[in-house]
Amino acid sequence: MNNLFQSELKVINIGLKSFKETLDKQNVKSVHVDWRPPLFTDDKVMSIIKSNTDKIEAANKQAIQKILNSKPFIVGMGKALDVVPGMKKNLLLHAGPPVTWENMCGPMRGAVIGALIYEGIVDAPEKAEQIAASGKIEFSPCHEHSAVGPMAGIVSPSMPVFILQNDEYGNKAFCTMNEGLGKVLRYGAFSSDVIERLKWMEKILYPSLKKAIEKIGKIDLKNIIAQALQMGDEVHNRNRAATSLLYRTLAPSIIQTTDDKEIAASVLEFINRNDHFFLNLSMGASKLSLDAARNIEHSSIVVVMARNGTEFGIQLSGTGDKWFTGPSPIPDALFFTGYTKDDANPDIGDSSITETNGLGGFAIAASPAIVQFVGGSTKDAINYTLKMYEITAAENNIYKIPYLNFRGTPTGIDVIKVVEKNILPFIDTGVAHKNAGVGQIGAGVLSAPAEPFIKAIVGLANQIK
Amino acid sequence: MNIIGIIKKGEYYDSISIMLIAKHISEMEGVDDSAVVMGTKENKSILTSSGLMTPDVQPAGEMDLIVALKLKEGVDSKNVLYKIDEIFKATKKSDDGENFTPQSIDGALNVLPDANMAMISVAGRYAGDVAMKSLQRGLHVMLFSDNVPIEKEIELKKFARENNLFVMGPDCGTAIINGVPLAFANVVNKGNIGVVAASGTGLQEVTCLISNAGCGISQAIGTGGRDVRKEVGGIMFIEGIKALTADPNTDVILLVSKPPATEVVEKIISVARGIRKPVVGVFLGASPEFLKGSNIRQALTLEEAAMKAVALSKHDSIESVDENLKSRTSEIEQIAKVEKAKLSLGQKYLRALYSGGTFCDEAQLLCQNVLGEVYSNIPFGSSKKLKDSSKSEKHTILDLGDDEFTVGKPHPMIDYSTRNKRIISEAEDPETAVILLDIVLGYGSNMDPLVEIIPVLKEVKKITVQQKRYVPVVCSVTGTDKDPQNRTAVVTALGAGGVKVMESNAAASMLAISIINR
């Protein structure tokens, strides 16, 4: 104990802030902890967790290794019906945890209507609603088919998808091509111009890209994401750099493999004009890495965070395919002129898979350019990222943040840390209008809701005991 | 009377914010009484007993914040609630643009990797877990929080002992480590006297008296009051003694506590036996024979203990202390004589209103020996319990820092309002012969006590002059001139206001007693 008397007193102050101020006045080195009570304090559950700490930590180490070692590549393209596992003609995939037509929010219903028109199953929105409610159309989460989709996240059988492969573990993931901003299917728009664009993407964009990718062989997504983080993207709400890097990779091959110059130009221009073209791929790369860490017994690492616009759901490595859900919150957003929070749909989309993988909101310190857009100062952005280190199991080995001296992004959300520290994952995201077909009305930030994390820790404890 | 209550659902505020909010609200125009509390069962029953309960706040859960208000007649509640909302907004104001504040011990260790002390003041039911986590990270712990279960305290202290760490507390309000005053503590001289104390105000009093006598403190280790009980077995009290024994900068060891459990006394005596440094002990309430046969020199008051430690640290004789105290007693009697002459017939009783719990105990002991029957809300020794803490009976000695006075309000060392009201009502009582007070300075306490107390003393004078009486006010001021409030400044101003200021609580108590003792 005497070493205390012999050394300089340095204090961690947890609780009353005035004690820290007193120490400051005396020039004593100290740091204040903005402590809050745990989310959940059920003794039974927490004692199971505590008594298994060693096993959980070992399992988490394994899960983290898999996430960090994953090597996501684009290896090709195909039609969803042909390549996505379990895909069939009367199946539509959607974002988030499972949801029935009755419980679907406006934008997701709009996207379902659009997809049914696009597939030629119906020719009018009213008929689409009827058939969607009839039970003839099945719905299933993208996540249960190795896929991810932004916002409504609808994947229908004829849609072209990128095929991604994890070179380290061999697993695959699938994602659609991003449609751009404005009135688009993923925000629930289904007017004729939306359908026409989807058709153009299927008939013109897809074949051209497919050939170009075949020529290239495979495209290293991890490399593009790592570079993009150093160019001001966090690859969720800002994908400008990543899209540009992908464009540079694709352009020569597109020109070489597309016979018609006009078509080649239109394809390149489509990618060039859509800063979010890379979003679906950053999501797919994240999905691929996190899927590799699934089903590790005892692991408390979150492998999915996803929202269907009604509910927010998560899955843990150690609890198999179980979803833990709670109501999805409405983001705290900056709205485009003419819109308010009253118009906003609850948070929606699989894009929070990026945060789950240590990107997006978790890497926002790398992306000062969008901080103002999501409401805040540069320092806020840095603080958001710093806070996420509190609830993650590792620092990324490849994804680095220049401002933080190239510290790796906080990676691998540990549900136990979330619950014990009462710090919820931070997500930066787009906001959809609550009515079908209106589209994006703002962008903002939110903390994940507590309920899924509380249910998940209970689920993990039940699994362990 | 207009009583209203609102629930702030699921809003967590740390206790200092709640205290600040409570203070702002209590100062609002039109608010007669108020409480701001988390909606725990205990707090709700306290609201009920203090008449602030309304059906509106009954459903509040323990994660909800309750604001209960008693409004003056004719006050517009809408207006008041609007202002309260503003107060809440002001406290919630985000750390916009501020540096990163970690939210856990691990996060803090990233920022300050070589931290060696965790100061914990979160709500009691969580504090134990936070303390354990700190110990596991190799940090010494000062546990300011109270209401930590005793089983948890034992678990923490056993773990700490095995790992050569301190756990000061729970309910440890003060300590001085490496010259740094922690929580409620005074800025004292550095020196060669080391203190182990199971009493917060006791620690403050002895360290200030030592410093004011020109000596100084090497370390002052608080253990929390329960440490010396049988269940905990004095784990940290003993560890503290051992640490001071080994500390080359400590020449004299001073122990402060209420009488420990018998087993613990035996342990203390046996540890002390092996120490070559002189040891002084004050165990308030223990008989003068308590430490007979041990090598611990016993003192009966905090002041005597401090003076004996001072004498030993200067290699003076202990007997000189007895002589000095004796001559001081005759000085006190001189002052008392003058004051006594000014009292009217019927002024018979002592009314002591304390903010420091240990002072309340000490005053009761001194009073019992001379005046006999004494009443208190926290009876000590032979005192009787007050039927109603809000009404004094005969000789009454109150601890206003006790929970029943502080729920939803800051401690009386910070917020003088409760005691100020009580001073006025004691002054109005024709049977009051002396009002006895303590003022505790230092970090953590009110930064401007004169602003709080001087207007009340003027009011006392006004009331008593009107009623053709004189009520002497006797007071001790615990603090030093290095404290941010500056003791000399406070003492001078009080003296100018007609208060008899004494150098210690023991001396102030003795003066009050002598004035009454006819």
Q: Answer whether residue B310 shows pLDDT above 50.
A: yes
Largest CA distance in chain A: 83
Q: Answer whether residue A253 shows pLDDT above 90.
A: yes
Length of chain B as a residue count: 518
Residues B294 and B415 in one domain: no
Q: Are A97 and A178 in contact (CB under 8 A)?
A: no
Single residue among B253, B288, B321 that ends a domain in this structure: B321
CA distance B180 to B221: 11
CA distance A307 to A350: 6
Closest-CA distance of chain A to residue B115, Å: 5
pLDDT confidence band for B16 (50 / 70 / 90): low
- Work out the number of other CB atoms within 10 angstroms of the CB of residue B7: 17
Residues B350 and B466 in one domain: yes
Nearest Cα residue to A74 out of A205, A175, A186: A175
Nearest Cα residue to B474 out of B506, B431, B445, B442: B506
How far is residue A262 from each of residues A226, A265, B417, measured CA to CA in Å?
33, 5, 83
Single residue among B321, B344, B365 that ends a domain in this structure: B321
Q: Are B139 and B177 in contact (CB under 8 A)?
A: no
The predicted complex's ipTM stands at 0.81
What pLDDT score does B95 carry? Answer: 44
- pLDDT (tens digit, 9 = 90+) per residue, B329-340? 999 999 999 999
pTM: 0.79
CB contact B114 to A (< 8 Å): yes
Best of B100, B104, B161, B219 to mutate (most A CBs within 10 Å, chain A): B104
Task: Annotate A166-182 with DSSP letters as a single string.
Answer: ETTT--EEEEE----SS
On whether residue B439 sits in a domain, the answer given is yes
On whether residue B377 sits in a domain, the answer given is yes
Q: Are B313 and B292 in contact (CB under 8 A)?
A: no
Contacts of A28 in chain B (CB under 8 A): 180
CA angle B190, A3, B134 (to 5 degrees): 105
What pLDDT score does B65 carry? Answer: 87
Q: What is the dihedral of CA A145, A147, A153, A159, to 10 degrees?
A: -90
CB contact B1 to A (< 8 Å): no
pLDDT confidence band for B9 (50 / 70 / 90): confident
Q: Compute CA A435 distance to the chain's CA centroid, rounded to the nearest angstrom.
A: 23
CB–CB contact B166 A4 (8 Å): yes
How far is residue A65 from each of residues A68, A171, A410, measured CA to CA in Å?
5, 15, 14
Nearest Cα residue to B411 out of B5, B64, B65, B18: B18
Number of domains in chain B: 3
Q: Are B506 and B514 in contact (CB under 8 A)?
A: no
Q: Answer whether residue A374 shows pLDDT above 70.
A: no
CB–CB contact A13 B119 (8 Å): yes
pLDDT confidence band for B15 (50 / 70 / 90): low
What pLDDT score does A28 carry? Answer: 96
Residues paired with residue B283 on neighbouring β-strands, in sequence order: B257
Residue bearing tokens 């791929």 = A281
- pLDDT (tens digit, 9 = 90+) per residue, A110-135? 999 999 999 999 999 999 999 999 99
Q: Which amino acid is located at B427 in the chain?
A: A
CA angle A439, A443, A449 (to 5 degrees): 105
Q: Are A112 and A92 in contact (CB under 8 A)?
A: yes
Residues B311 and B347 in one domain: no
Residues B258 and B131 in one domain: yes
On whether residue B11 sits in a domain, the answer given is yes
Residues B314 and B172 in one domain: yes
pLDDT confidence band for B94 (50 / 70 / 90): very low
- pLDDT (tens digit, 9 = 90+) per residue, A30-83? 999 999 899 998 889 999 999 999 999 999 999 999 999 999 999 999 999 999
Cα Rg of chain B, angstroms: 23
Nearest Cα residue to A30 out of B119, B264, B68, B175: B119
Residue bearing tokens 């020719």 = A123
Mean pLDDT of chain A: 94
Report phi then psi at A353, rounded to 5: -65, -25
Sign of CA dihedral A271, A274, A280, A285: positive
Give mean pLDDT, residues B292-311.
Answer: 95
Q: Are B420 and B384 in contact (CB under 8 A)?
A: no
Residue A202 makes CB contacts below 8 A (sequence gap 6+) with A158, A159, A160
pLDDT confidence band for B417 (50 / 70 / 90): very high
Strands (E), A230-342: 302-308, 311-316, 324-327, 332-335
Q: Are B453 and B501 in contact (CB under 8 A)?
A: no
- pLDDT (tens digit, 9 = 90+) per residue, A178-192? 999 888 999 999 999
Task: Annotate A217-236 with DSSP letters as a single string.
Answer: --EEHHHHHHHHHTTT--SS
Residues B338 and B307 in one domain: no
What pLDDT score does B92 carry? Answer: 58
- Work out the number of other CB atoms within 10 angstroms of the CB of residue B495: 12
Residue bearing tokens 């784990």 = B235
Contacts of B121 in chain A (CB under 8 A): 13-16, 19
Single residue among B321, B341, B375 that ends a domain in this structure: B321
Q: Answer whether residue A2 shows pLDDT above 60.
A: no
Task: Assign residue B27 the CATH number of its domain.
Answer: 3.30.1360
Give mean pLDDT, residues B59-86.
Answer: 85
Residues paired with residue B140 on neighbouring β-strands, in sequence order: B117
How far is residue B123 from each of residues A46, A293, A381, B177, B495, measured CA to CA in Å?
19, 38, 30, 24, 40
Q: Return the SS3 of A30.
A: strand
Closest residue of chain B to A28, computed from CA coordinates? B180
CB contact A54 to B (< 8 Å): no
Strands A332-335 and A440-447: antiparallel
CB contact B164 to A (< 8 Å): yes
Residues B164 and B239 in one domain: yes
Nearest to A12 among B95, B105, B218 (CB): B105
CB contact B82 to A (< 8 Å): no
CA distance B92 to A224: 41
On whether residue B100 sits in a domain, the answer given is no
Closest-CA distance of chain B to residue A363, Å: 15
Q: Return the SS3 of A453.
A: helix
- pLDDT (tens digit, 9 = 90+) per residue, A405-451? 899 999 999 999 999 999 999 998 889 999 987 888 888 889 999 99
Nearest to B115 among A1, A11, A36 (CB): A11
CA distance A456 to A59: 16
Q: Give the percent of chain B with pLDDT over 90.
A: 73
CA distance A384 to A214: 40
Closest-CA distance of chain A to residue B228, Å: 20
In which order are the strands placed within the sheet that holds A302-308? Answer: A324-327, A311-316, A302-308, A348-349
- Give burial (CB, 10 Å; 0-12/13-18/19+) of A459: buried
CB–CB contact B144 A14 (8 Å): no
- Give burial (CB, 10 Å; 0-12/13-18/19+) of B348: middle
Exposure class string for B318-342: b at 16+ Cβ within 10 A, else e: eeebeeebeebeeebeebbeebbee
Residues B121 and B178 in one domain: yes
CB contact B86 to A (< 8 Å): no
Contacts of A423 in chain B (CB under 8 A): 103-104
What pLDDT score does B96 carry? Answer: 47
- pLDDT (tens digit, 9 = 90+) per residue, B486-516? 999 999 999 999 999 999 999 999 999 999 9
Q: Give the percent of chain B with pLDDT over 70.
A: 97
Closest-CA distance of chain A to residue B415, Å: 15
On whether residue B342 sits in a domain, the answer given is yes
What pLDDT score does A1 carry? Answer: 55
Q: Which amino acid is located at B179 in the chain?
A: G
Nearest Cα residue to A349 out of A119, A176, A205: A176
Residue A95 is classified by DSSP as S
Strands B174-177 and A332-335: unpaired
What pLDDT score does B457 carry? Answer: 96
Residues B317 and B334 in one domain: no
Contacts of A25 in chain B (CB under 8 A): 443, 484
Q: Answer whether residue B91 shows pLDDT above 70.
A: no
- pLDDT (tens digit, 9 = 90+) per residue, A142-162? 999 999 999 999 999 999 999
Q: How many Cα atoms are found within 13 Å in the side-chain-facing hemisphere of A310?
A: 14
Residues B328 and B317 in one domain: no
Strands (E), B25-157: 31-38, 65-71, 117-120, 140-143
Closest-CA distance of chain B to residue A465, Å: 23
CB contact B168 to A (< 8 Å): no
CB–CB contact A390 B102 (8 Å): yes
On whether residue B368 sits in a domain, the answer given is yes
Task: Assign residue B369 the CATH number of its domain.
Answer: 3.40.50.261
Q: Answer whether residue B359 shows pLDDT above 80.
A: yes
Query: Cis ω on the peptide bond leading into residue A329 (within 30° of 0)?
Result: no
Residue B399 makes CB contacts below 8 A (sequence gap 6+) with B354, B357, B360, B376, B377, B378
CB contact A124 to B (< 8 Å): no
Contacts of B63 in chain A (CB under 8 A): 37
Q: Give the percent of chain A with pLDDT over 90.
A: 87
Residues paired with residue B34 on neighbouring β-strands, in sequence order: B69
Largest CA distance in chain B: 70
Q: Which domain holds residue B76?
A: 2-95
Residues B121 and B224 in one domain: yes
Contacts of A382 in chain B (CB under 8 A): 100
On whether residue B274 sits in a domain, the answer given is yes
Asked which of A216-230, B40-54, B168-182, B202-216 is least confident by mean pLDDT, the reply is: B40-54
> Which residues between 225 and 264 in chain B have a beta carbon less than 8 angstroms from any beta carbon of chain A?
239, 242-243, 246-247, 249
CB contact B12 to A (< 8 Å): yes
How far is residue A321 from each of residues A83, A291, B278, measured CA to CA in Å?
21, 11, 69
On whether residue B429 sits in a domain, the answer given is yes
Closest residue of chain A to B118, computed from CA coordinates? A12
Q: How many Cα atoms are found within 13 Å in the side-chain-facing hemisphere of B380?
A: 23
CB contact B195 to A (< 8 Å): no
- pLDDT (tens digit, 9 = 90+) per residue, B398-415? 999 998 888 778 889 999
Residues B312 and B187 in one domain: yes
Residues paired with residue B434 on neighbouring β-strands, in sequence order: B350
